[in-house]
């Protein structure tokens, strides 16, 4: 399901299936629903009640034969068989949040959550249900894409279970030539028309540090510290005090919602930028708007000149064209003002969290831990500092330290850390899980590596502290990011470029178009892939998504510097020399949501 309509538009143009609806017997109805028992029952009720002139039934995922027969029987009983005009399986059981990002579409998020996949008491039947749900959505995705992927996955993980099932489902569909969804007009309907894409299935357990990481880019920060869901951010705003007979009291909090969509040019340009750059850009946009507004006012004042003197008449004629142009651009100016107000409010809310919780300090310190560079401050000092972050911030920091260190702290040191965390008000349950997870990953393989230093401090943000600035950034560090591939990006790079690397050499290879149904070996022809989809089984985040976006940008810049002029246009047209990457995940969570899941989860091994 694509986020094509905002909630307000949905209310204007559509109606919820289970809402009360009056009969409109002379109007056709288009249904777009999941084929659940509840939805099928309600559609049958609509047929019996003769609500509409005709019915166009569109199912998000494929409807089973038994449920289709239920609809047919209801239509027959209501004498409405001829009114059911069309029935479609749309294969849209996923949500596209960005042009290059998607998540599973599931009414029960808990069913495909990290905890559901990794809880120790899960039965084989329950695990099969979880895997089938994920596979159904991925199958829908590739039907919509119109391409049959080459599948790679790690061994002994939930990702391997998904790969085996998806390979089987694709293979069975391709075998039925008459009803295959990957032949004829469908094949090549998507953007992957000339070469088959690579699907890299990775398990969340390969990297648990990134979901816990404090981030520094705009979109990831909004998702981390604010209420951000399906491209909508909800803010609570208060302003001043209100007078009452009982005296002054704080005003009530007003809830406001903002949609951050592809039509928002500022969001599209800056969502992957470091927050200080975003704050500065908002200020620059505001100053530009004020200059345009002042120009319109000046022209209006000139056009209102009175008198018959030649100077006034000459000035009027000279500025008529300018005023006409200014008036014609007024809608664009008003839209610009709306976006400035929107991002001023959102960025201000983010900044409040940064300053109150010292998130810049956490981000910089965690980057040093993950890149194994020298720490300029004791970890205990940050944990023990009552002014540095919330208990959750401190727990996230320590978990990243525990995950990233090759040598686990001694029992004595660990007890010291645990005491400091407890004194800071932290719940230690997540640590118990991470200890078990790390012990398991040590037996299975080496822990993920996070590369070298990725940040550079440029001092305090004096540039943003100019007179009249909307953002008081005093004390916040101006951290400049340096691109460094995260584990998911590094795995993708190895597989996409067909590199030999111990990290990915044993990844399984599936080609659903091959006649053999068993695990086939990697072909000798090692041509790099041009298109790839990374899908994280167990949940993803905006940090990984942005890292993949930056990976493409950095490589484009490198190739532009070292390529002939005639190849320049080819490289810049579609990213990394024609390469295109999509990021998907079974669910999208921030650190708070992830920590809640691991509080009561224990490691389970897939065999």
Cα–Cα distances in Å, from 356 out to 267, 279, 351, 436? 24, 17, 8, 33
For the stretch 263-292, pLDDT in tens is 999 999 999 999 999 999 999 999 988 888
Cα–Cα distances in Å, from 164 out to 124, 160, 204, 396, 491? 16, 6, 17, 34, 19
Dihedral sign for Cα 96, 490, 483, 563, please: negative
Q: Do domains 94-207+486-598 and 210-372+450-481 have the same CATH topology?
A: no
Q: Kindly tell me if the per-residue pLDDT of 453 is higher than 80.
A: no
For the stretch 135-173, pLDDT in tens is 999 999 999 999 999 999 999 999 999 999 999 999 999
Domain 7-89 has CATH 1.20.58.1690: no
Instruction: Work out the pLDDT band at 189, boundaries 50, 70, 90.
Output: very low
Q: State the average pLDDT for the chain.
A: 82
- H-helix segments, 184-225: 218-225
Q: Is 123 helix (H, G, I), strand (E, B) or coil?
A: coil
Q: How many Å apart are CA 601 and CA 440, to the nearest integer? A: 14
For the stretch 493-532, pLDDT in tens is 999 999 999 999 999 999 999 876 566 667 766 789 999 9
Give φ, ψ of 33 to 5 degrees: -140, 160
Q: How many Å apart are CA 477 and CA 484, to the nearest integer? A: 20
247 against 515, higher pLDDT: 515
The helix-helix angle for 65-77 and 37-48 (nearest 10°) equals 20
Per-domain residue ranges of the chain: 7-89, 94-207+486-598, 210-372+450-481
> Which of 3.30.70.790, 3.40.50.1910, 3.60.21.10, 3.40.50.720 would CATH assign to domain 94-207+486-598?
3.40.50.1910
Mean per-residue pLDDT for 364-388? 90
Mean per-residue pLDDT for 96-107? 89
Query: Which of 342-351, 383-392, 597-606 shows the lowest per-residue confidence on average (mean pLDDT)?
Result: 597-606
The CATH number of 210-372+450-481 is 3.90.830.10
DSSP state of 183: S
For the stretch 346-366, pLDDT in tens is 999 999 999 999 999 999 999
Q: How many Å apart are CA 110 and CA 87, to the nearest integer? A: 30
For the stretch 54-63, pLDDT in tens is 999 999 999 9
Query: Which of 191-200, 238-247, 497-506 shows the lowest per-residue confidence on average (mean pLDDT)?
Result: 238-247
Percentage of the chain beyond pLDDT 90 is 59
Q: How many Å apart are CA 477 and CA 592, to the nearest integer? A: 24
pLDDT at 475: 61
Q: Kindly tell me if the per-residue pLDDT of 574 is higher than 60.
A: no
Task: Considering only CA atoms, give the Rg of the chain.
Answer: 28
Q: Residue 202: beta bridge partners?
A: 536
pLDDT at 495: 95
The secondary structure of 69-122 as a DSSP string is HHHHHHHHHTT-GGGEEEEEE----EEEEETTEEEE--S-GGGGSHHHHH-TT-
- Global pTM reads 0.85
């Amino acid at each position: 399901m694509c986020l094509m309509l905002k909630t307000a538009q949905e209310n204007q143009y559509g109606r919820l299936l289970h809402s009360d609806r009056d009969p409109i017997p002379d109007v056709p109805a288009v249904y777009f629903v999941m084929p659940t028992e509840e939805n099928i029952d309600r559609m049958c009720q609509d047929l019996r009640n003769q609500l509409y002139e005709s019915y166009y039934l569109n199912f998000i995922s494929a409807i089973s034969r038994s449920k289709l027969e239920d609809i047919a029987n209801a239509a027959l009983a209501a004498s409405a068989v001829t009114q059911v005009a069309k029935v479609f399986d749309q294969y849209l059981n996923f949500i596209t949040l960005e042009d290059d990002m998607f998540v599973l579409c599931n009414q029960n998020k808990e069913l495909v959550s990290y905890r559901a996949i990794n809880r120790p008491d899960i039965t084989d039947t329950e695990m099969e249900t979880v895997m089938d749900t994920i596979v159904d959505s991925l199958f829908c995705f590739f039907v919509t894409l119109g391409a049959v992927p080459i599948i790679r996955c790690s061994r002994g993980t939930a990702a391997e279970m998904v790969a085996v099932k998806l390979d089987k489902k694709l293979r069975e569909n391709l075998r039925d030539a008459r009803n295959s969804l990957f032949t004829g007009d469908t094949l090549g309907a998507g953007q992957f028309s000339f070469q088959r894409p690579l699907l890299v299935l990775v398990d969340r357990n390969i990297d648990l540090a990134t979901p816990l990481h404090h981030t520094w880019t705009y979109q990831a920060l909004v998702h981390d510290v604010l209420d951000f869901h399906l491209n909508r951010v909800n803010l609570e705003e208060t302003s001043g005090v209100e007078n009452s007979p009982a005296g002054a009291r704080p005003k009530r909090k007003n809830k406001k919602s903002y949609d951050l969509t592809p039509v928002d040019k500022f969001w599209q340009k800056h969502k992957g930028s470091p927050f200080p750059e975003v704050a500065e850009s908002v200020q620059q946009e505001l100053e530009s708007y004020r200059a345009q507004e002042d120009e319109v006012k000046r022209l209006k004042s000139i056009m209102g000149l009175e008198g018959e003197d030649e100077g006034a008449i000459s000035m009027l004629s000279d500025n008529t064209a300018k005023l006409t142009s200014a008036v014609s651009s007024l809608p664009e100016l008003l839209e610009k003002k709306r976006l400035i107000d929107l991002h001023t409010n959102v960025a201000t809310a983010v900044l409040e969290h940064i300053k109150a919780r010292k998130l810049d300090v956490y981000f910089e310190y965690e980057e040093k831990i993950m890149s194994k560079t020298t720490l300029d401050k004791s970890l205990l000092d940050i944990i023990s500092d009552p002014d540095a972050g919330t208990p959750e911030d401190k727990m996230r920091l320590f978990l990243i330290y525990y995950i990233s260190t090759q040598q686990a702290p001694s029992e004595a040191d660990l007890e010291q850390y645990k005491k400091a965390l407890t004194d800071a008000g932290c719940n230690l349950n997540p640590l118990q899980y991470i200890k078990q997870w790390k012990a398991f990953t040590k037996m299975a393989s080496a822990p993920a590596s996070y590369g070298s230093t990725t940040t550079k401090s440029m001092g305090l943000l004096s540039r943003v502290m100019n007179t009249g600035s909307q953002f008081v950034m005093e004390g916040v560090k101006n951290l400049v990011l340096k691109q460094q591939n995260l584990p998911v990006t590094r795995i993708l790079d190895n597989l996409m470029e067909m590199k030999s690397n111990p990290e990915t050499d044993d990844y399984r290879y599936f080609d659903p178009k091959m006649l053999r149904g068993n695990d086939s070996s990697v072909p000798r022809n090692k041509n790099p892939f041009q298109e790839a989809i990374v899908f994280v089984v167990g949940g993803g985040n905006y940090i990984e998504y942005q890292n993949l976006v930056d990976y493409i940008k950095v490589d484009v810049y490198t190739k532009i510097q070292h390529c002939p002029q005639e190849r320049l246009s080819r490289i810049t047209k579609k990213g990394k020399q024609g390469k295109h990457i999509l990021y998907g995940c079974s669910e999208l969570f921030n650190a708070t949501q992830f920590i809640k899941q691991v509080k009561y989860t224990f490691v389970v091994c897939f065999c």
